[in-house]
């Protein structure tokens, strides 16, 4: 069994890859694999409160559900978060850690497999 | 002259031990492709990688087609030569090529109507299983 890091870097408005990344994370959760999810770049927009993402209600709800699937390691790129101007309110319910790009590099070293979508 | 012979011999033994080492470090690869077969190089690079890996004694555990790459599994894919390359490789090496069910739906591919030979439609669990079992997971993005 390998540990898995899923990096989400797509805006939810841009195709279906954002949804696929969360699907992969949930599937890995069901398989009880050691897994972490990191939101970087445009990917932080997936964490917006539901109202700001027209038609993507489901995705935000699924991200909120990640801890229920045993995914405790959730990382968010703090610089991208500031740039995207996302209010911290939508992140309050989600237990997560803020990381810098240096820490992200260390994170990638710590995991056996990395899936970047 | 004997010096030359020795040099040649050591070169030859080096060559053989290098080739031998390659087979010793045999690896199981899993491939994730997300790039479109018509608008990106991803699928072509992946099939080249597969061929190179198989010819040096490595094993391809699974190929997972996600997002735009799922178009490759369509019977009427716009890049037929590339699709044919994949199908030949699949046939010769019994490769496990999976198109993600959600992405396949985007291209209106269903296993009853227009799924190309050699491809299988399945869920995201197959990607996670591939990651759990393969030594390396390589992504070919768009």
Query: Which chain A residue is nearest to residue B105, measuring alpha carbons?
Result: A16
Residue B66: per-residue pLDDT? 94
Answer yes or no: do B102 and A15 touch at CB < 8 A.
no
Residue B108: per-residue pLDDT? 93
- Cβ of B70: how many Cβ atoms within 10 Å? 28
ipTM of the complex in this document: 0.86
3-state per-residue secondary structure call for chain B: CHHHHHHHHHHHHHHHHHHHHHHHCCCEEEEEECCCCCCCCHHHHHHHHHHHHHHCCCEEEEEEECHHHHHHHECCCCCHHHHHHHHHHHHHHCCCEEEEHHHHHHCCCCCCCCECCCEEEECCHHHHHHHHHCCEEEEECC
Residue B7: per-residue pLDDT? 46
Answer yes or no: do B139 and A115 touch at CB < 8 A.
yes
Residue B112: per-residue pLDDT? 87
Q: A68 at the B interface (CB within 8 A)?
A: no
Residue in B102, B132, B137 nearest the CB of A20: B102
Please provide residue A75's backbone torsions phi and psi, each rounded to the nearest 5 degrees: -120, 140
Partners of residue B141 in chain A, C-beta under 8 Å: 116
Partners of residue B66 in chain A, C-beta under 8 Å: 17, 20, 117
Residue B17: per-residue pLDDT? 47
- The pLDDT tens digits for B104-140 are 999 999 988 899 999 999 999 999 999 999 999 999 9
């Amino acid at each position: 069994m390998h540990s898995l890091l899923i990096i989400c870097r797509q805006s939810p408005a841009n195709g279906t890859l954002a949804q696929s990344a969360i699907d992969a994370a949930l599937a890995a959760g069901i398989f009880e694999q050691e897994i972490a999810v990191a939101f970087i770049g445009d990917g932080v927009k997936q964490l917006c409160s539901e109202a700001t993402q027209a038609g993507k209600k489901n995705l935000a709800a699924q991200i909120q559900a990640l801890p229920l699937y045993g995914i405790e390691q959730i990382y968010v790129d703090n610089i991208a978060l500031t740039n995207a101007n996302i209010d911290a309110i939508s992140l309050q319910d989600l237990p997560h850690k803020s990381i810098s790009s240096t820490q992200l590099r260390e994170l990638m070293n710590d995991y056996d497999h990395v899936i970047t979508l | 002259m004997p010096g030359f012979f020795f040099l040649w011999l050591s070169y030859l033994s080096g060559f053989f031990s290098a080739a031998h080492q390659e087979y010793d470090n045999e690896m199981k690869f899993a491939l994730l492709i997300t790039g479109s077969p018509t608008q990106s190089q991803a699928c072509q690079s992946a099939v080249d990688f597969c061929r190179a890996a198989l010819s040096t004694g490595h094993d391809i555990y699974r190929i997972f087609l996600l997002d735009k790459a799922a178009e490759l599994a369509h019977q009427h894919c716009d890049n037929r030569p590339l699709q044919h390359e994949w199908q030949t490789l699949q046939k010769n090496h019994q490769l496990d090529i999976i198109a993600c069910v959600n992405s396949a739906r985007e291209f209106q591919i269903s296993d009853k109507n227009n799924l190309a030979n050699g491809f299988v439609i399945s869920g995201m669990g197959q990607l996670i299983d591939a990651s759990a079992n393969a030594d390396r997971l390589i992504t070919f993005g768009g």
